[in-house]
A and B are shown apart, each in its own frame.
Chain A
């Protein structure tokens, strides 16, 4: 029984990181139909914000506040300088963002060095929950991720901005005819997506080593979260990240890590084959 509880909590940890990162991707992909291959690098940027804060003597909480701002600024810069010229060339967006991702990754490596940084745990200790002792930080991570999801859902569902976003997703031209500034929505969505990825990066950092190619692993995984879950809705992201995170954690218990990632990938491909619209369609 205890084993199952641990398995469930570990799966929730992985799933909640995927949720935050995948949500950022889903906003950009669902709203603008852009494939952002630099999304993983925003995760790295978030993680290195924490590293920089650590080196400069700041705390985890400061980094958690700063990271979304840093991520959003990078996102705005990228949208203004590159992506807004490429809205009608989807393949070109992939290439340009991949170029940016190479530059950011190498830039971070040249600035901070290729060796990893360990970040100290901001919340030390364990807490007993449903009969098992579990690290407090991981519980904090799960709660934070869930509250971010809930906040995003509330914003999309109940605010004026959310209404505009939903209108643009449904029909871009008609939304523009109704007086919605779609270019502004694009910019805001892109920066929000980048900010979410950066928050994901800060949340991941204390769990392991921070390396320049940290975000790369999350790029493919978060795409699968979005595709498997179903493009264009928040429930799909939640379902997709629970499935991918759950499967990965479950396989990790029994087989080597790389093999389990390969298995998750194969399962994702099979799911896409038989359910191309995702688990939870729009």
Chain B
């Protein structure tokens, strides 16, 4: 780590808030990971698939949190990257008849959203497009990509989508290895989710996290310290799109079909709600938010399917007015308060 030793030398001791943050985070992470690893022991096939899909959507929410919570850029069309990843997977693996075509599809589902994000991001971020403008442009990207998926019938299958995506696997010699039972798929998705979560968490705890925080607080100041802020934001945007695309690829190969719903504005809206409810910038929160909101969606939809958009709209207004920080920061606030109380009383008794 030759490139910025000063920050290491002058690393401040963590504040109480940071300590509590990290402790809550680790406890929640280990608890959730343990629960999810052990889940197949008692779950039936249906609910296993359900939790697998929730985890995939959790990965998408994680990618939006990486972009919005850490990079400070809110995307309102994040489902576009997810859907493009899913369609890349579907088109590659259906049309290529080759032993490794599904692996190639997974590669395409990461690479193509990455390239699209590179092109869009280059034009937007280097033009100084930030904040509200970024939201508008990403909204437009979401609308256009859904229209493209519906009307480009020869490639995307139009409204009915594409069916018959082969499961992930490859052929070596005469033998074919493939993931076709729900247990192995579940563990593959869980591994991807946990690894990407840990990786992004480590990244944002360290120097790179500091840099991103600095850019979000005051981009001009970060620039004057010699950082190419636009480049870093572009890197965040591309990696976020790639992660969302990977989730899309996994989703396509798990469920076996893709439809224009995967790119819809409604899905983008839901992804945003998962992140906002779980707690923006916490990385773990989006998973929790996704679980809670999708559970709520099932309950509401079982009453009436037309009700859900109304509920989502109301959730937006509740987020804005009642708890703008989300669940995890809400818990942290309580723990910090409790700790302060405890420490004060401890001092009193000690003397």
Contact = CB atoms under 8 A, between A and B. Distances in A.
Interface of A: 35, 37, 82, 85-86, 89-92, 94-96, 98-103, 105-107, 109-110, 216-217, 219-220, 223-224, 227, 256-259, 261-262, 265, 268-270, 272-274, 276
Contacts of B309: 102-103, 105-106
Contacts of B315: 99
B140 interface: yes
A91 B148 CA distance: 28
A35 B137 CA distance: 12
Given A102-B309, A258-B148, A272 B132 contact: no
Interface in B143-176: 143-144, 147-148, 150-152
Contact of B135 (A35, A102, A217, A256): A35
Contacts of A257: 147, 151
A273 B126 contact: yes
A99 B316 contact: yes
Contact of B127 (A35, A103, A107, A272): A272
Contacts of B124: 269, 272-273
B316 A102 contact: yes
A5 B317 CA distance: 48
13 contacts: A86-B320, A91-B135, A94-B135, A95-B276, A96-B320, A96-B321, A99-B320, A102-B309, A220-B139, A224-B140, A256-B151, A258-B147, A276-B127
A227 B135 CA distance: 13
What does DSSP make chain A's interface, helix, strand, loop or mixed?
A: helix
Contacts of A37: 139
Contact of B128 (A105, A217, A227, A276): A276
B314 A103 contact: yes
A265 B314 contact: no
A119 to B, nearest CB: 24
Contact of B143 (A107, A216, A259, A274): A216
Nearest to B306: A110
Contacts of B147: 257-258, 261-262
Nearest to B312: A102
Determine chain B's interface SS by DSSP, over half rule: helix
Contacts of A110: 306
Interface in B109-130: 120, 123-124, 126-129
Contacts of A274: 127
Given A35-B135, A90-B132, 16 more contacts: A89-B320, A92-B324, A95-B316, A95-B319, A96-B316, A99-B312, A99-B314, A106-B310, A227-B136, A258-B151, A258-B152, A262-B147, A265-B144, A269-B120, A273-B123, A276-B129
B320 to A, nearest CB: 5
B262 interface: no
B256 interface: no
Contacts of B324: 92
B265 interface: yes
Interface string B69-80: 000001010000
B269 interface: yes
B316 A91 contact: no
Given A95-B319, A102-B269, A259-B148, A90 B136 contact: no
A92 B320 CA distance: 6
A273 B139 CA distance: 17
Counting chain A CB atoms within 10 Å of each CB, the highest count among B137, B265, B317, B321 belongs to B317
B141 interface: yes
Contacts of A90: 131-132
List the 9 closest pairs (A to B, CB-CB), nearest first: A99-B316, A102-B313, A103-B313, A106-B309, A220-B140, A258-B151, A258-B147, A273-B127, A99-B313
Given A223-B140, A261-B147, A91 B74 contact: yes
Contacts of B128: 276
Interface string B281-322: 000000000000000000000000010011011111101110
B83 to A, nearest CB: 14
Contacts of B76: 98
Contacts of B276: 95
A109 B304 CA distance: 14
Given A99-B316, A258-B147, A35 B136 contact: yes
A259 to B, nearest CB: 7
Nearest to A103: B313
A207 B265 CA distance: 25
Interface string B306-342: 1001101111110111001000000000000000000
Contacts of A98: 76, 269, 313, 316
Interface string B257-281: 0000000010001000000100000
Contacts of A89: 320
B133 interface: yes
A92 B132 CA distance: 11
Nearest to B132: A35
Contacts of A103: 309-310, 313-314
Contacts of B140: 220, 223-224, 265, 268
A251 B281 CA distance: 41
A96 B317 contact: yes
A110 B137 CA distance: 29
Nearest to B137: A269
